[in-house]
Structure 1
Amino acid sequence: MYAGLRDVKRFTIAATDGDIGISKDFLFDDRAWTVRYMYVDTHKWLPLGEKVLISPVSLHSIDIKDEKIHVTLSKEQVEDSPSIDEHKTVSRDYEALYFQYFGYGYYWTGPGAWGEFAYPTALAQVQTLPERAELEKVDTGSQANHLRSINELQGYEVKAKDGNFGQVHDLILDTENWEIPLIVIDTHQILPGGKKVLVAPKHINSINWLEKNVGCHLSVDAIKHCPEYDPERLNDSVYQQKVRQQLLAL
């Protein structure tokens, strides 16, 4: 199922023994275009509640109608999880600690977006974690994990190869594998009425976090012919096929 992250951002997170918070942001890998964590505000539900990270590895189901994300964790597991407040950034060392706490397999030790697996939930079934020495071999000296806030990315200027053409409005989440197959661009700068169009991550060649812009290798004219974003038809198979065909032609 596809869902706009602007909408999912307000969903309630439900543990196995009750609600635990509301998703406030998402951290995504800006190389794999995959959401790695939900940033969850727990202060209304947990004693001394604070913001915590919850990985899609723990996902049970997403209820779009009721606006809830069900996870396979208890309130106690979330409350006792490694505190993000102790770390200025979500480093690879923090991720290793986090995954060890829950007993998950590491997503960064294989060739795909989720390591050896196609879906994040498969990592919950991994029984043996790599030794620290093996982990260091995989990272080849760099602990950078390229995690970025989706809240930060929304609103960034989008630069075509021959001029600016809009801003990042939203990112579309595939709730099966937590990858981002589509990016919603608000083209009000060049198209009457502020039409929103869809591009794919393959069309993005850079993200400049200092200058707050996104580089795209398409021309302004090509952007005008990108499929128009229709949130009401996002999960319509005919609409999805049309979008895929149009994007493949670019």
Structure 2
Amino acid sequence: MLKNAEHLIGYTLESCDGEIGQVKGFHCDDQHWTVRYLVADMGHWFRDRQILIPPSAITGVNLNMQTIDINLTKQQIDDIPALVHGETEARQLQDPRDPHRCSSHNLISSHVQGTDGDIGHIDDFLIDLDTWAIRYFIIDTRKWWLAKKVMLSSLWIERVNWLEAKVYVNLARETMKHTSPYTVLDPLNCRHESHRQRRREDWIKAMSHILGKSDNRELLKTQQNDHWLSGTTNQQ
């Protein structure tokens, strides 16, 4: 199941012995595009502090109740060191042992740079709740194409530059212009992924024309591992 990161903000965290706080944000891996930690706001439960909870501690997500179950006791949570002030908003966390950890606070609104110029900015991203992998980014392109948001597979991202607040992708602006608009589907599931798969052939033809490909097989071979194009998912 895929879920918008922004929609998970505010979900209640349920420990083994009761409610302990809410989801405040995420720390992500900008190399493998996974969620490293949930930023948990303890509020009045634990002296108004914030801590990091790894996805390995999560036992379930209830979308109807907007709760996330974790297999930690309140005592174990109280023993987790609190985040220092401003760490959740850091552009790049100053930890040489973990240079690819970044905050979702700064990931959202970062500019997306294509091969030939600015495409837009990151408005949100979709998390696979089974694996906590970041599968897609929602790109706001309204600066160039009025009121249009598009989905971008994380596999297209080549690198990130936090000093510039830019995410670089191996796509031209014209290619993004021809992708289908993103419509909020909550929750996004295999039925919606199947619908996206049915539009795959037209999307590839458009890209082939833009990139000057005379044979679509070359493009298919190049992108065979991209689950946005190939439609291979782990959805239940």
TM-score (norm 1): 0.72
The one-letter amino acid of 1:200's match is: S
Distance 1:54 1:144, change over 3 A: closer
| Structure 2 CA distance for partners of 1:236 and 1:35, relative to 1, 3 Å | closer
Q: Secondary structure at the match of 1:76?
A: helix
**How far 1:233 moved relative to its partner?**
5.5
Structure 2 Cα separation of the partners of residues 180 and 161 of structure 1 = 22
Residue 151 of structure 1 pairs with residue 105 of structure 2 = yes
**Poorly superposed stretches of 4+, deviation over 3 Å:** 82-86, 88-91, 242-247
What letter is aligned with 2:117?
Answer: G
1:30 counterpart = 2:30: yes
Counterpart of 1:72 in structure 2 is: 71
Structure 1 position 248 matched with structure 2 position 204:
no
Task: Measure the CA separation in 2 of the matches of 1:165 and 1:174.
Answer: 25
Amino acid paired to 1:153: L
Q: CA deviation at 1:34?
A: 0.3
Contact between 2:111 and 2:120, CA under 8 Å: does it hold in 1? yes
Q: Could you tell me how far 1:90 is from its partner in structure 2?
A: 7.3
Equivalent AA in structure 1 for residue 151 of structure 2: L
Inter-partner Cα distance in structure 2 for 1:75 and 1:202: 38
Name the residue aligned to 2:132.
Answer: 178
Partner residue, 1:17: 17
Structure 1 pair 157/90, CA: closer, same or farther in 2 (3 Å)?
A: closer
Aligned partners of 1:6, 1:37: CA distance in 2, in Å?
15
CA RMSD of aligned residues (A): 2.2
Q: In structure 2, how many angstroms separate the alpha carbons of the residues matched to 1:13 and 1:172?
A: 20
Pick one of 174, 180, 186 that aligns with 1:221: 174
Q: What secondary structure, in the 3-state scheme, does the structure 1 residue paired with 2:171 have? A: coil
Distance 1:31 1:71 in 2: 26
In the alignment, structure 1 segments of 5+ residues that lack a partner are 92-141
Q: Counterpart amino acid of 1:218?
A: L
Distance 2:143 2:83 in 1: 38
Residue in 2 that maps onto 1:131: none
The residue aligned with 2:207 is none
Are positions 1:169 and 2:103 aligned together? no
Structure 2 residue aligned with 1:2: 2
> Which one-letter code corresponds to 2:166 in the other structure?
N
What letter corresponds to residue 38 of structure 2 in structure 1? M
Shift, 1:145, TM fit: 4.3
Give the match's secondary structure for 2:176: helix
TM-score of the two chains, using structure 2 as the length reference: 0.76
Paired residues of 1:160 and 1:220 also in contact (CA < 8 A)? yes
SS at match of 1:84: coil
* 1:154 aligned partner, one-letter code: I
1:180-219 paired onto structure 2 within 5 Å: 180-192=134-146, 194-219=147-172
